[in-house]
Amino acid sequence: MSTPTTDARSIPIRPPTKHQLALMIWLAVFPTLTALNLLLATVFDGVPIALRTFILVTTAVPIAIYGIMPHLHRARGPSSRAGSAD
């Protein structure tokens, strides 16, 4: 008789702590905003700061949340599995 195996994907993933989440958000947002500022510097020449900030944030948030954060969540690796030692 075979013994049941536990697939690592079937083990629930613990949510990040508030400190991990803060670091992950910073790692996603800061480089994204920096890159957008560098890429769009000439486009925003003369644009009021409030409008520039609104456009940058409106562009950066989806990039960070949908493009970068999933990779950061996966990078948390085995320590994010319930029951694993931190």
pTM for the complete prediction?
Answer: 0.70
Range of the structural domain that residue 27 is part of: 15-76
Residue 2 located in a structural domain? no
> H-helix or E-strand containing 28?
helix 18-39
Residue 77 backbone phi and psi in degrees, to 5: 65, -150
Q: How many domains does the chain have?
A: 1
pLDDT, tens digit, 9 for 90 and up, residues 1-57? 556 666 666 677 788 899 999 999 999 999 999 999 999 999 999 999 999 999 999
Residue 49 located in a structural domain? yes
C-beta separation of 25 from 73 below 8 A: no
